[in-house]
Amino acid sequence: MYLGLTDLFFLAFAVLSVLFFALFIDLPYLVYAMLKLFIRLSLRSGSSFPCHVSSLLVLTLFSTWMGFLPLPASCAPAVTLTSDDQLFIALKDAAVKEDGVRAQTLANQLGSYALPSYVEYYRLKADLRNASVADVQVFLTRYEGSAIADRLRNDWLLLLGRKNDWANFDVIYPQFVLDDDTQLKCYALLSKLQQGANVADQARSLLTSAKVYGEGCYPLLNSLVRRGQFTRSDMWNQMRWASESRSGTAAAQLAILMNQPALAAVLESPVKVLSKRLGSSADAHEVALIALGRLAMSDTDQAVTILQKIQSGLSRSERAVAWAQIALPAAQQLQADALSYWIKAGEDVPLSLDAYQWRVRSALRSLDWARVKQGIEAMPPVLRSEPVWVYWLGRAYANEGQREAARNLFQSIAGETQFYGQLAMEELGQKIVIPAATSVKSVDLTPLSANAGFQRAIQFYGLGMRFEAAREWNWELRKMNDSQLLAAAEFARQNELLDRMLSTSDKTKAAFNFSQRFPAPYRSVMVQATQSMGLDMAWVYGLIRQESRFVLIARSAVGASGLMQVMPGTAKYVAGKLKLADFDLSRVNEIETNISLGTGYLSMVLSDFSGSQPLATAGYNAGPSRSRSWRASLPQAVEGAIFAETIPFSETRVYVKNVMSNATYYAALFDNVPQSLKARLGVIGAN
């Protein structure tokens, strides 16, 4: 085999690389890389070795083990779809890629497949843009009342909206059962607008709460402006709230819509825009306000300095908006001056839903109960009615001595089996107990075995298509009463679908079975692991319930695996610390290994935080360094509930509250004595 200069250079570079990996990473990577090198050289020489069976087996083993190194494309074996299941999965892929020809070919081979509605759906979905109204209507009629019919209705409505086909849209939209697509809600308002209706108030409500704008909402905004239903102020409010998103995507789209090219410069370099003389026009002032907010995301002090220089040229209402623009990122960064910025903004400034909540969180961190009350009472009803703000308003009333008003608020949420429902119970003088279990009769389970939706869900789980499985399962739960939900949860248990069991049981309002809501599988493994690490087993179960919902094969977008969602790097680090014999990454999803690694790491994090479960829980999710910085930013010691509510990462904030709530219920189940969530949360100091 002849090697040219390119080959020799590649060979030298590769040898150095694999030696580096051998010394500093691990030996398996060395073996893999050298195999890959040999294959590269063999390919260049025309050797038949790359497709030799043994090399493919070894490469497959190592690439699977490492989790991110694929086979060279020229060595990938030809896949022969022989089973109906494989054909069905390929059909779904063709639908995703909108490959109508391939989808039709595959569908023709699946004439007797056990999921005929999905075969037809994927065939139709693959070429939906060319489908006729009659084609869609035939499908909807044939499968009326099914989850997949409503899914196609959603797909078809989006297409009709894009085409401005309001005649057909208006016929089908009222039949859309789930009605959970913001884009369709925007299209529906746009259709009404085209017919002369005034939809401004509905649009304000929808767009204020929308997390994204998207394909349906931009044309709605455009039409609202053209028809005079949205004022200049409305559009600038939308622009400011969109600019709160650090990605800036929605803000950039709105800048185009509003014909404001200066806003593009704001998103790229706000400090450059603010370094220029403040313009005299109202639009120039609005651009400056948005630039202040964008700058405050990276340098609050500089934004404050600039505002102090230019505020004399702003109107009173503009100054209020400017301070609010700075206050929000300062609050989200847990800065000590955030509350003072909110105070400068005043109470009447227009805010996004996020800003309303962060204004109150700033007051909570400062234990300023008067401003907690003031901030919650200023919230729009959609926020003020949420249990979190009902609870904190009750606490603010209690602090002012308004005991009866506080008690009424606590009673309104005390029956809810979640974090703030539990805390409300404690404010009423009650501890957390497990409600009496409602039993499930075998006769209640009989119809579930014949339920077509549940059967489809079980089949999808078997295919590894968890999204489709959950959709089918949840569709069947929509109209169930408490006793039917408990029966469905028991049916899930019998089919070893623990995540479906607990999520189904979670939906009951008056009848409960907490053995379904809070399962404790692998008990012997957990007892041994938690006792050896000195951990509270209730807390560990509470964390697993939140992490994976007991799905053994759960894998996050960032690569965390198994019951306790252990990251590969963490797994290797903890395995070394625990001196686990014969450990390799292929074992991370094994029950005993995953629990050993997860509890080992959790023990390290807990020790790092002197036994504080809220801090350790936050550290497990977001990283110990972040949890330490959040604690260090506290102006004073606060109760654990305030620490949890003011965590700046929304995912971690929800995570900590759910884990601590779960742990309290697990402790009540395990110990059979009343529990205190407040005691478990404790007090969090600044160091």
DSSP states of 341-409: HHHHH-SSS---HHHHHHHHHHHHHTT-HHHHHHHHHTS-HHHHTSHHHHHHHHHHHHHTT-HHHHHHH
Joined together, the tokens standing for residue 43 give 């390919």
The verdict on residue 558 lying in a domain is yes
Higher pLDDT: 189 or 24? It is 189
Lowest mean pLDDT among 250-254, 305-309, 331-335, 421-425: 250-254
Strands (E) across 465-590 are located at none
Say if residue 15's pLDDT is above 80: no
Indicate whether 258 and 287 sit together in one domain: yes
Query: What is the average pLDDT score of the chain?
Result: 88
Say if residue 274's pLDDT is above 90: yes
The verdict on residue 55 lying in a domain is yes
- The model's confidence at residue 389, banded by pLDDT at 50, 70 and 90, is very high
The mean pLDDT of 94-106, rounded to a whole number, is 97
**pLDDT attached to residue 570:** 87
CA angle 353/359/360 to nearest 5° reads 100
The verdict on residue 606 lying in a domain is yes
Indicate whether 506 and 527 sit together in one domain: no
Indicate whether 489 and 566 sit together in one domain: no
Angle between helices 316-332 and 300-310 (to 10 degrees): 170
The mean pLDDT of 395-424, rounded to a whole number, is 97
Indicate whether 601 and 464 sit together in one domain: no
* Residue 239 one-letter amino acid: M
CATH number for the domain spanning 615: value is 1.10.530.10
Indicate whether 497 and 576 sit together in one domain: no
The mean pLDDT of 365-393, rounded to a whole number, is 97
By residue range, what is the domain housing residue 545?
523-684
Say if residue 276's pLDDT is above 80: yes
The verdict on residue 662 lying in a domain is yes
Indicate whether 475 and 536 sit together in one domain: no
Indicate whether 469 and 491 sit together in one domain: yes
- The model's confidence at residue 584, banded by pLDDT at 50, 70 and 90, is confident
CB atoms < 10 A from the CB of 342, how many? 28
The verdict on residue 25 lying in a domain is yes
The mean pLDDT of 364-389, rounded to a whole number, is 97
Lowest mean pLDDT among 2-6, 182-186, 486-490, 570-574: 2-6
Indicate whether 539 and 503 sit together in one domain: no
Give the residue from 50, 75, 100 where a domain finishes. Answer: 75
The mean pLDDT of 585-606, rounded to a whole number, is 91
- The model's confidence at residue 558, banded by pLDDT at 50, 70 and 90, is low
Express each pLDDT in 317-341 by its tens digit.
999 999 999 999 999 999 999 999 9
**pLDDT attached to residue 131:** 96
**pLDDT attached to residue 72:** 33
**pLDDT attached to residue 71:** 32
Indicate whether 502 and 542 sit together in one domain: no
User: Are 134 and 168 within 8 A, CB to CB?
Assistant: no
Say if residue 431's pLDDT is above 70: yes
Give the residue from 51, 75, 99 where a domain finishes. Answer: 75
Encode burial over 483-513: b for 16+ CB neighbours within 10 A, e otherwise: bbbbbbbbbbbebebbbbbbbbbebbeebbb
Express each pLDDT in 113-160 by its tens digit.
999 999 999 999 999 999 999 999 999 999 999 999 999 999 999 999
Say if residue 391's pLDDT is above 50: yes
User: How many structural domains compose the chain?
Assistant: 4
**pLDDT attached to residue 247:** 67
* Residue 331 one-letter amino acid: A
Indicate whether 592 and 636 sit together in one domain: yes
The verdict on residue 667 lying in a domain is yes
Encode burial over 466-482: b for 16+ CB neighbours within 10 A, e otherwise: eebbbbbbbbbbeeeeb
Indicate whether 555 and 671 sit together in one domain: yes
The mean pLDDT of 19-40, rounded to a whole number, is 42
**pLDDT attached to residue 74:** 31
The verdict on residue 188 lying in a domain is no
**pLDDT attached to residue 12:** 55
- Closest to 539 (Cα-Cα) out of 611, 639, 464, 637: 611
The verdict on residue 562 lying in a domain is yes
Say if residue 22's pLDDT is above 80: no
- Closest to 240 (Cα-Cα) out of 342, 343, 352: 352
The mean pLDDT of 302-310, rounded to a whole number, is 97
Q: DSSP readout, 407-446?
A: HHHHHHHTTS-SHHHHHHHHHTT--B-PPPBPP--HHHHH
DSSP code, position 52: -
Indicate whether 261 and 310 sit together in one domain: yes
Express each pLDDT in 50-96 by its tens digit.
333 334 333 333 333 333 333 333 333 333 334 899 999 999 999 99
Give the residue from 313, 336, 351 where a domain finishes. Answer: 351
